[in-house]
Amino acid sequence: MTEKESYSANGEALYSICLLAAFADGEKGTVEREELKKIGEALLPEELHPAAVYQKVLLGKTDAAAEAAKLETKEWKQLAYEMAVKVCEADGVTEPSEKAFLKELAEQLGIPAKEAGAIVADADEMGAASLEEVDTALLPPPLPAGPAVKDEVDSLIMRYSIINGALELLPETLSTMAIIPLQMKLVNSVGKHHGVSMDRQQLVEFLGAAGIGATSQVVEGMARKMIGGLTGKLGKKFLGKSFGGLAKKGVDQLTSSAFSFASTWAIGQLAQRYYANGRTWSGINARETYQALRQRAEPLHQKFLPEIQREASVLDYKKVLSMVRG
């Protein structure tokens, strides 16, 4: 088996495990199921057979044991478990069925119970994050006024976007668990500038109206990482420093950083329109507006990349937890 074939086989098992985790609660509706299918077909290369993998998982023709057995190294197994935890924890509530799935998966992957428990505990803490605003001292400094930063709310949106772009440059895989809680905090912070706030369920509904499912967003980020890995010479780049120093940060991390930066900026700008419109979508197509805003944000990532990289250089896991806890 060539190195590319080996990467493809491991990547296919990883994608299967992520989908198994996504469906572990048995509560994914038709819309989110279709979104997960579209993500695989749109982003993953043909070598990973995304449509076939989706059907195999959806029809129950595979399980955690079968997919875990296909992963060749400890690094792949650790990555698979961390990704599964991220998917299960994406909506902030881990159902008993998801906990049972993660327990079985850890056993099949040979991950010690203590180590697996620590990963889940970290993710639980992220998922139970307060919706209160992040202490401004923990955010990047305010940016000077200009085309991308016209007022205080624009500045706030950009600062959150820079943080989330920086999180994807950190070596710890679970650091990206902070992205969705920080996006929720951003929406709430924008609302407070308009004199209102939302509870967690209202925030989930806001994101859902824009077609942003927490689970699908995590899987989409994973798929983008896999693209970066497959386009690398040996497919090892996306493992990052946390997996035995196999490679330096590569194109995959920059791609993931751009994705998280753009989605956060778009969510913040969409929230600004929503609140200014009296907390109604009247006259606003939330999904189309979000997609258009995300496209507008993509060139901004390159413009603010020095600030994103500078922020990543001073971030550590404790600081990330402080931001999420509120």
Domain coordinates in residue numbering, the chain:
3-127, 136-325
Tens-digit pLDDT profile for residues 258-308: 989 999 999 999 999 999 999 999 999 999 999 999 999 999 999 999 999
Chunked into runs of 10 residues, the chain (326 residues) has average pLDDT values of 75 88 77 73 72 89 94 88 85 81 95 91 76 83 87 94 92 76 92 88 86 76 62 41 36 79 96 94 94 94 95 87 79
CA distance 247 to 165: 20
The CATH class for the domain spanning 3-127 reads mainly alpha
pTM listed for this prediction = 0.78
CA distances (Å), origin 148, targets 92, 134, 182, 302: 31, 21, 20, 13
Cα 302 from chain centroid (whole Å): 20
Query: By the 8 A CB rule, do 230 and 7 touch?
Result: yes
Closest CA to 228 of 11, 62, 77, 83: 11
Cβ neighbors of 267 (< 8 A, separation 6 or more) are: 183, 186, 187, 207, 210, 212, 290
C-alpha 157/C-alpha 154 separation (Å) is 5
